[in-house]
Amino acid sequence: MKRHAGLMILVFVLASSCAMLDKTLVAVGEATGNRELAKAGADITPRQEYYLGRSISANVLSERPLLKNRLIQGYVNMLGQYLALHSQRPNTFKGYRFAVVEGEEPAAMSAPGGFIFVSEGMLRALRNEEELAAVIAHEIAHIELRHAEDIIKKQKKTGLAMQLLSKAAKDKYKDDVPEELLDWGANGIEKVLNSSFDKNQEMDADAGAVRILTLAGYDPKGMKWALGRVKDSATFLGRHPSNEERVESLLEKLKDAKTPKYRGVRQKRFRLYTQKYL
């Protein structure tokens, strides 16, 4: 029992510093005779990614509910599914899902597992299907590149530490203590919601979008045009590098981009959905 009390203090003190967390888990693993513990949180499984994505999506949708318009939802889902087929990660645990949500502010966001949101305001701000494809392809690229994973990995390691704390507390008080597990999970969701991707991640997602658009047959210049339509920070909750910086980093990649055929046909389709049905 004393060993567990000491363990609790060890977990508390060391887990308070994120940088020390790996060492903490190693120390705790050794203290409990379980060396595998330190490695146990290394992988985020597809199933966990999906359930995390669901809870993040539930947060987003509580602020911005789904737009009740089946035609628009169908259009965005067909476009999104078509683009996802051209990503390097066309599969997620339960597949990609796309949604148009209420809100006049132009915004787009992705959640782990393949949940992608575009606001009604974003649809109104864009001028053609190439631009909408670019916005969605950028969000697919974040999922493809697993950008949320680093945040979760850190949080998951904390969770393991907290679970051990729970185990120690359970042994001591003969009582089930699930709250710690709930707390770390809730913190993880909050962290993903409030963390913006860093500049490199944004640039990588832009580059990923250009690749997806090109493979799918869209004009990759749509990425540059879309950035010109919206203000900086066009995610729901995060902060991006300035659009000017992003466009600048795209210029080299777009230098040799060919203009695909039938852009006018797609523009007509986009206008039909966004002007007649929206």
Partner 1 sequence: MTASKRTGTAFIGALVLFCLSFSALANSNMKTVALEKAALRSKPSYLSKTVGTLSYGDQCRAVRKSGDWFEVSLRGKKGWLHKSAFGNRKSILKDIGQGAEVAKNSYKDEVVAAGKGFSPEFEKMYQNQNRNLNYHDVDVMEGYQIAPKFIINFARKGGLAGAAIKGAEK
DSSP character string of 19-38 = GGHHHHHHHHHHHTT-TTHH
- Distance in angstroms (rounded) separating the CA atoms of residues 15 and 17: 5
Q: Report residue 25 as tokens.
A: 């888990």
Taking the least distance from each CB to partner 1, the nearer of 215 and 247 is 215
Q: Report residue 248 as tokens.
A: 């600048």
How far apart are CB 163 and partner 1 at their closest, in Å? 3
How far apart are CB 122 and partner 1 at their closest, in Å? 17
Taking the least distance from each CB to partner 1, the nearer of 121 and 241 is 121
DSSP character string of 38-61 = HHHTS---HHHHHHHHHHHHHHHH
Taking the least distance from each CB to partner 1, the nearer of 253 and 269 is 269
- Distance in angstroms (rounded) separating the CA atoms of residues 166 and 171: 9
How far apart are CB 115 and partner 1 at their closest, in Å? 7
How far apart are CB 18 and partner 1 at their closest, in Å? 17
How far apart are CB 63 and partner 1 at their closest, in Å? 8
Class of residue 159 by CB neighbours under 10 A (exposed 0-12, middle 13-18, buried 19+): buried
Of 156, 139, 157, nearest to 26 by C-alpha is 157
Q: Report residue 176 as tokens.
A: 């089930």
Taking the least distance from each CB to partner 1, the nearer of 56 and 207 is 56
CB 92 within 8 A of CB 114: yes
Taking the least distance from each CB to partner 1, the nearer of 57 and 274 is 57
Taking the least distance from each CB to partner 1, the nearer of 59 and 249 is 59
How far apart are CB 166 and partner 1 at their closest, in Å? 8
Q: Report residue 189 as tokens.
A: 């969701």
